[in-house]
Amino acid sequence: MKKGEWVIPPNLQPDPAEYSYDLTTALNAVVGLKSYVPSDAFTATVLGTERRGSGVVIRENGLIATIGYLIMEAETIWLTANDGRAIPGHALAYDQDSGFGLVQALGSLGLPALPIGNSDELAVGGSAVFAGGGGRHHAIETKIVGRQEFAGYWEYVLDDAIYTAPAHPFWGGGALIGPDGTLRGIGSLILQQGDGKGRRLDMNMVVPVANLTPILDDLLSYGRVNRPARPWLGLYAAENDDAVIVGGLIDNGPAEQAGVETGDQVLAVDDVEIGDLGSLWRRVWAAGSAGAELQLRLLRDGETIARTVRSADRASFLKSPKLH
């Protein structure tokens, strides 16, 4: 460990003696990941041009699973093993629907692969290890505190996200390791929730590997899931009390071109009333595939208005990965 490097407090680190599997071997399968994205990339403004997180070796040939936003539009990727070795990587695939990304190491990692386990077995109250690249000093003992839907403002929904606490401070792409030493999920976000007593609980939202297993072969073969792309509106939305409000718009995206404005309340999509963020995105996707037209009923300055949005394929706005 280098002087000045961040560490998980010792009392929160996993103790190898308390695990039935080889904890050190499992943690060695988690690598640091750093990516560089061109300044003119579609996601550069929101996600930055230099991104740091982790990835998990899932095959001994150097295939790595991570969270997709770390590698989206990346031109250069570096992977760092726990022994300090740095190996270049290539962004193989990114799945918009699940949020998973795949990276292929472009050199010999010489690291163990973490087997993919059954994330459906993780029950609320169970224990797990959340690990970032860097070994035990970057790993935390955690509990499963929730299994429920997660709806993101960026046109994203998980039906059965995993929530863990205490939260890992460097969550992106980290490995959620189950009690049998298998990979159960990939870290996506940190969230804050009040406990009703004025205290704040920090949690990680983890994408379950049950969402990766059925699409893995497609991602390896095609770089994306082999099905029509979902309709995409190019807007950000959030829940405010019982209303769903447009919080932002992608420049020149489908919604902006159709005349949707920041601050609009979304009342209905194709005459189906919208009650929350998850129902908004599901109704959009129910319209068919990218390119479908959707009728939005909006509330703006006390007046109900209608806008017709021709959806798009979000991937068409992104730079494709290049192999150098």
The β-bridge relationship of strands 30-36 and 76-80 is antiparallel
pLDDT of residue 320: 77
Which DSSP string corresponds to 152-200?
ETTTEEEEEEEEEESPPSS-TT-EEE-TTS-EEEEEEEEEEEE-SSS-E
Say yes or no: 279 and 164 in one domain. Answer: no
User: Do 140 and 8 contact (CB within 8 A), yes or no?
Assistant: yes
pLDDT of residue 196: 63
Does residue 323 lie in a domain region?
no
Residue type, 286: A
Say yes or no: 146 and 282 in one domain. Answer: no
* Torsions phi, psi for 137 (to 5 deg): -70, -15
From the number of C-beta atoms within 10 Å of its C-beta (0-12, 13-18, 19+), residue 318 rates as middle
Say yes or no: 198 and 291 in one domain. Answer: no
Which DSSP string corresponds to 270-296?
TTEE--SHHHHHHHHHTT-STT-EEEE
Q: Domain tally for the chain?
A: 2
Say yes or no: 168 and 30 in one domain. Answer: yes
Say yes or no: 79 and 164 in one domain. Answer: yes
Does residue 261 lie in a domain region?
yes
What range defines the domain where residue 62 resides?
A: 12-227
Instruction: Output the CA torsion 231→220→159→239 (10° steps).
Output: -50
pLDDT of residue 199: 73
User: Do 211 and 121 contact (CB within 8 A), yes or no?
Assistant: no
* Residues near 31 by beta carbon (within 8 Å), at least 6 away in sequence: 54, 55, 56, 57, 64, 79, 80, 81, 82, 109, 111, 133
Give the domain-ending residue among 227, 256, 291: 227
pLDDT of residue 2: 53
pLDDT of residue 319: 83
Say yes or no: 24 and 152 in one domain. Answer: yes
Say yes or no: 114 and 199 in one domain. Answer: yes
Residue type, 90: H
| CATH at 255 | 2.30.42.10
| CATH at 220 | 2.40.10.120
Question: Cα–Cα distance between 147 and 121 in angstroms, integer?
Answer: 11
Say yes or no: 161 and 32 in one domain. Answer: yes
Say yes or no: 143 and 259 in one domain. Answer: no
Say yes or no: 146 and 17 in one domain. Answer: yes
From first to last of the 324 residues of the chain, give the pLDDT tens digit: 454 577 899 999 999 999 999 999 999 999 999 999 999 999 999 999 999 999 999 999 999 999 999 999 999 999 999 999 999 999 999 999 999 999 999 999 999 999 999 999 999 999 999 999 999 999 999 999 999 999 999 999 999 999 999 999 999 999 999 999 999 999 999 998 766 676 788 999 999 999 999 999 999 999 999 999 999 999 999 999 889 999 999 999 999 999 999 999 999 999 999 999 999 999 999 999 999 999 999 999 999 999 999 999 999 999 876 654
pLDDT of residue 193: 78
Does residue 3 lie in a domain region?
no
Say yes or no: 151 and 252 in one domain. Answer: no
Give the domain-ending residue among 184, 211, 227: 227
